[in-house]
């Protein structure tokens, strides 16, 4: 399976004309016409991550070559040499999209040269995987840069991810109006609990492979990410992390009560990791871990037909009649 996926990445999804990974192909292996002009850093990161992981598993030199080529492509085209980090949206030739938008939607503002939290944490993850198998000096330089940006810039001192930044690292804010939430403004600045607990793990993993595994600040930040999610995004009655919350005049309120399959699994992983690091903590991470698994076993796993729903049925009961499979649902999490 790994070799099959690698061959497809190399032959079909690598852009033979411009370089970089083509993220969406039609059934004839041609670039999807609806997405053809664009490449996102999110997809490039996972292409590098996959190729590096394939090399670790198979020692197939072609996998390493593809991972290296992918890294060199994003570094040549998408790395911000002035302010650091990587731009999110690129044209097909790799040039960053700075002053235009690709279409309509609530996240059009992201297409204006914005640096994105989700892509950034996965760039760090991909470079960590690449550095493990190819300890190149430039890879380490970029990995250190991404690690420090995520830990010290993306993560707010109170322990949650700040989501979108201008190229110079000015935070993109949702503005002062609470009423703007109904217009989609919440999307610019909300708590995304699955990503917060995922980032806690990724920071500790990267620190380990950089040789910084005992760094006190990194451990503090990772614990804050987990603790803030427990304080504001955890269902104390049934267990499980909600999808999203937002800060308002009356404190944090949950704006998406769905409990997504991937966020719940990342949450279970983070809770067990916190228990391993802090077994005597008053929050009792291990009891919360057990409650998280009980919640998943009760509300997320389809005991009749098998497989996992997309979201837990305690807060999204109609989900039992929705498709279980889609392009984002993978065993990665």
pLDDT bucket at 31, cuts 50 / 70 / 90: confident
96 touches 113 (CB < 8 A): yes
The 10s digit of each residue's pLDDT in 233-257 is 999 999 999 999 999 888 899 999 9
Q: Which two tokens stand for residue 212?
A: 């910084």
Q: Stretch 133-158: mean pLDDT, rounded?
A: 98
What is the DSSP track for 287-308?
A: HHHHHHHHHHHHHTB-TTT-SB
pLDDT higher than threshold 50 for residue 308: yes
Question: Is the pLDDT at 110 greater than 70, yes or no?
Answer: no
**pLDDT tens by residue, 153-204:** 999 999 999 999 999 999 988 665 444 454 556 778 899 999 999 999 999 9
Continuous segment of H or E residues that includes residue 165: strand 164-165
Q: Where residue 107 falls among pLDDT bands split at 50, 70, 90? A: low
pLDDT score recorded for residue 179: 47
What average pLDDT does the segment 222-232 reach? Answer: 98
Segment 48-56 shows an average pLDDT of 98
Percent of the chain residues past pLDDT 70, beyond the cut = 92
Higher pLDDT, 175 or 74: 74
> How far is 84 from 333, CA to CA, in rounded Å?
28
Task: Output DSSP code: residue 150.
Answer: I
Using alpha carbons, select from 251, 83, 247 the residue that is nearest to residue 163. 247
Query: Of the given ranges (83-97, 107-121, 122-136, 157-171), which has the lowest mean pLDDT?
Result: 107-121
DSSP letter string, 225-268: HHHHHHHHHB-TTT--B-SEEEEETTEEEEEE---BHHHHHHHH
What integer pLDDT is reported at residue 250 of this predicted model?
85
CA angle 13, 14, 20 (to 5 degrees): 120
Quickly state the pLDDT bin for 103 (edges 50, 70, 90): low
Q: What angle do CA 103, 172, 159 make, to 5 degrees?
A: 125
The pLDDT value recorded for residue 187 is 76
Q: pLDDT tens across 254-307, in order?
A: 999 999 999 999 999 999 999 999 999 999 999 999 999 999 999 999 999 999
> Are the C-beta atoms of residues 134 and 211 closer than 8 Å to each other?
no
What pLDDT is stored for residue 176 in this prediction? Answer: 52
Better-predicted residue by pLDDT, 111 or 322: 322
Q: What is the pLDDT of residue 46?
A: 97
Tell me the pLDDT band of 38, cut-offs 50, 70 and 90. Answer: confident
Please, where are the H alpha helices in the chain?
2-8, 41-58, 61-77, 117-133, 137-149, 193-210, 216-233, 261-277, 285-299
For residue 11, what are the CA distances in angstroms to 77, 231, 275?
A: 21, 47, 43
- Comparing CA positions, the residue from 21, 59, 15 lying closest to residue 41 is 21
Enclosing H/E stretch for 164: strand 164-165
Q: Return the number of other C-beta atoms located less than 10 Å from residue 51's C-beta.
A: 31
Residue 331: pLDDT over 70: yes
| Euclidean distance between CA atoms 123 and 52, whole angstroms | 13
R_g (Cα) of the chain, nearest Å: 20
Residue 23 is predicted with a pLDDT of 87
Number of C-beta neighbours around residue 31 at 10 A: 18
């Amino acid at each position: 399976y790994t070799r099959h996926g690698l061959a497809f990445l190399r032959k079909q999804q690598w852009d033979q004309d411009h370089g970089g990974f083509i993220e969406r192909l039609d059934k004839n292996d041609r670039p999807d016409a609806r997405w053809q002009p664009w490449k996102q850093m999110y997809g490039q990161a996972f292409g590098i991550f996959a190729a590096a992981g394939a090399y670790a598993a198979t020692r197939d030199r072609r996998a390493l070559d593809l991972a290296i080529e992918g890294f060199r492509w994003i570094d040549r085209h998408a790395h911000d040499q002035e302010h650091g980090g990587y731009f999110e949206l690129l044209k097909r030739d790799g040039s960053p999209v700075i002053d235009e938008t690709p279409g309509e939607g609530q996240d059009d503002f992201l297409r204006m040269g914005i640096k994105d939290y989700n892509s950034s944490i996965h760039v760090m993850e991909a470079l960590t995987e690449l550095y493990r198998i190819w300890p190149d000096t430039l890879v380490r330089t970029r990995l250190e840069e991404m690690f420090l940006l995520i830990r010290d810039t993306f993560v707010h001192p109170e322990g949650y991810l700040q989501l979108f930044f201008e190229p110079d690292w000015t935070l993109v804010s949702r503005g002062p109006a609470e009423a703007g939430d109904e217009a989609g403004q919440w999307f610019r600045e909300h708590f995304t609990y699955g990503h917060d607990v995922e980032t806690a793990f990724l920071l500790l993993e990267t620190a380990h492979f950089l040789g910084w595994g005992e760094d006190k600040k990194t451990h503090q930040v990772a614990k804050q990410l987990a603790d803030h999610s427990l304080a504001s995004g955890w269902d104390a009655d049934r267990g499980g992390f909600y999808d999203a919350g937002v800060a308002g005049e009356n404190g944090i309120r949950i704006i998406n009560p769905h409990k997504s399959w991937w966020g719940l699994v990342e949450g279970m992983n983070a809770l067990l990791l916190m228990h391993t690091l802090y077994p005597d903590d008053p929050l009792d991470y291990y009891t919360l871990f057990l409650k998280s698994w009980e919640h998943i076993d009760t509300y997320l796993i389809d005991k009749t037909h098998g497989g996992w729903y997309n979201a837990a049925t305690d807060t999204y009961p109609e989900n039992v009649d929705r498709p279980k499979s889609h392009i984002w649902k993978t065993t990665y999490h």
